[in-house]
Structure 1
Amino acid sequence: MAEADRLLAPRSALRGLVSGIFTEAGRHGPMLFPATPSPSLTVFLCGASIHEDGRAFAHSLLAGPQGRARWASMLPGTAFVTALFRPGALPRVLVPGGLPEMDEAGELAAFLPQAEADALVQAVRRHGTMAGAVTALEDWLLARTARPPRRRGGDLWLPPAAIAMPIAAVAAGTGRSPRQAERLFRQTFGASQRELRALLRYGRMLGGLLAGTATHGLGAAALDCGYYDQAQMARDMRRFAGLSAREVAAAARGGGGPALSMFRYGEGERRLLLG
């Protein structure tokens, strides 16, 4: 496949579930992946990625929210398609019973029966084109959400509004103790409320830097995104993106070479980053 990377809007029926579909083909070598509040599902059309811990993924990769920047190395010829889930949406797709939490990642077969995971990989690869792979992944997601919910007894999943609510209010609304509400929050979103809020705040800042809209000064942009000051934003950017804010902005303009390709997007794609 020719080198390309694209951030696509999902089809309309999936927009409450998925914020974007990312495709990658042609690049290889080390790549820096920034932290994200979004769980993700990746299916490989060919090739593989090798992660910092030495694990290689060549079929699928299901990841919870990621709380720090990470390096992975793409083998030559690697191509993949990734669904980026909205926070709290993953329980609509997978049978609750062990969803990935913060910084967890593994083959889809660790979270679904092997036959179901294999069927998705085969469907994505069957068409031989990236457009066909995107269609197959979206079809699979739609089919999963159309199934009647299969939950363990007593399971409950929180709406996105719970992210902004005090945990005491979440507890009162669900008839649970604050500690039980915290556990329920983590089961739904894959992270604690504090962790997720920090990731979402950083995500707003990162999106502005990548889209080139944080042009009125980093301090003002940080305040707009919910930071106390520029110093707090700078600490988060180093932890979550692996780069300073100015380095992120430079990477978005084309600096850093292939290793920073996850920080570069076209004009149309930038609108999705801010959405």
Structure 2
Amino acid sequence: MYAQAPSSIHPLVVAWHAMTPPGGQVVRVLPDGCLDLIWRDGAVFVAGPDTAARLHPTAGGTRFAALRFAAGTGPPLLRVPADALTDRAVPLAEFWPAAEVRRLAGADDPLAALEAVVRRRWRDPDPTLVALAAGARAGRPVAALAETLQLSPRQLHRRCQTSFGYGPKALGRILRLRRALALAVGGHPFAQVAADAGYADQAHLCRDVRALAGVPLRTLVG
């Protein structure tokens, strides 16, 4: 069971919760350019941005409550650059006071507790990062993004690394994958998905999906 909804904190924050079915489950988590603050059966940790899909075997009955931060909003909250967390899961106690983390760990309503503590620490999103994410999501070339945001290519790369965990080309590739998957799940033919998502052709789409997700697009669509 998995469910998500916009958080009351900000439109760029998604609240989600899940419980693993009896017998356990292996979940394939695809990269999305986001950072998650996760409560799992009393353990609280930060899941950094992934560069490729990860498989997570989980025992039956495991409970999750979490907040997902888009558009570079997570690193300012933690006061740690995103590229220090790339492809990592790190205990929250490495960033926040141990007493605060213990209160979160023992909360009766962990999702409400996460939202309450994040709301106290929240910083409004950097407009440049919001625009960067929107441009990358739309498939804009790196040079055009840099020009629009009035950043040099080097500045753009540095801002992207510290805010999203990887450079602008990798971010664009990951967001293109998410765009393609949404189109495919919506029932569009794969050739149309490739064209609409910005791939050279269907073969390019299939190669990129397999490289980032580890399985063919048809497997992801189900």
Residue-by-residue CA offset, 1:131-183 (whole Å, 9 max, x unaligned): x332222222211116x99xxxxxx994221343636437844xxx6434422
- 2:64 aligned residue (52, 59, 80): 80
Residues 1:225 and 2:197 aligned together: yes
One-letter code aligned to 1:241: A
TM-score w.r.t. structure 2 length? 0.81
User: Which structure 2 residues correspond to residues 222-261 of structure 1 after superposition, within 5 A?
Assistant: 222-250=194-222
CA distance in 2, matches of 1:233, 1:116: 45
Contact 2:75–2:82 (CA under 8 A) maintained in structure 1: no
- Per the alignment, do residues 103 and 248 of structure 1 end up closer, same or farther by CA in structure 2, a change over 3 Å counting? same
How many positions carry a matched residue from both structures?
212
Which secondary structure does the structure 2 equivalent of 1:182 belong to?
A: helix
TM-score w.r.t. structure 1 length? 0.67
Q: How much does 1:94 deviate?
A: 1.6
CA distance in 2, matches of 1:227, 1:91: 30
Residues 1:134 and 2:111 aligned together: yes
What corresponds to 2:129 in structure 1? 159
Which secondary structure does the structure 2 equivalent of 1:35 belong to?
A: coil
Q: How much does 1:95 deviate?
A: 1.9
Which secondary structure does the structure 1 equivalent of 2:78 belong to?
A: coil
Residue-by-residue CA offset, 1:196-222 (whole Å, 9 max, x unaligned): 11111101112233xx31x23101112
What corresponds to 2:139 in structure 1? none
One-letter code aligned to 2:210: R
5+ unaligned residues in a row in structure 1: which ranges? 47-58, 150-155, 251-275
Pairwise CA RMSD of aligned residues?
A: 2.8
What corresponds to 1:114 in structure 2? 98
Which secondary structure does the structure 2 equivalent of 1:65 belong to?
A: coil
User: Which structure 2 residues correspond to residues 30-109 of structure 1 after superposition, within 5 A?
Assistant: 30-46=26-42, 59-96=43-80, 100-109=84-93
- 2:3 aligned residue (3, 6, 10): 6
Q: How much does 1:61 deviate?
A: 2.5
- Per the alignment, do residues 33 and 108 of structure 1 end up closer, same or farther by CA in structure 2, a change over 3 Å counting? same
CA distance in 2, matches of 1:228, 1:98: 30
- Per the alignment, do residues 121 and 207 of structure 1 end up closer, same or farther by CA in structure 2, a change over 3 Å counting? farther
What corresponds to 2:174 in structure 1? 199
Q: How much does 1:5 deviate?
A: 1.9
Contact 1:157–1:188 (CA under 8 A) maintained in structure 2: no
CA distance in 2, matches of 1:44, 1:79: 6
- Per the alignment, do residues 97 and 40 of structure 1 end up closer, same or farther by CA in structure 2, a change over 3 Å counting? closer
- Per the alignment, do residues 75 and 110 of structure 1 end up closer, same or farther by CA in structure 2, a change over 3 Å counting? same
One-letter code aligned to 1:21: A
One-letter code aligned to 1:24: A
Which secondary structure does the structure 2 equivalent of 1:14 belong to?
A: coil
Residues 1:169 and 2:166 aligned together: no
One-letter code aligned to 2:17: T
One-letter code aligned to 1:5: Y
CA distance in 1, matches of 2:203, 2:115: 40
CA distance in 2, matches of 1:170, 1:41: 31
- Per the alignment, do residues 96 and 170 of structure 1 end up closer, same or farther by CA in structure 2, a change over 3 Å counting? farther
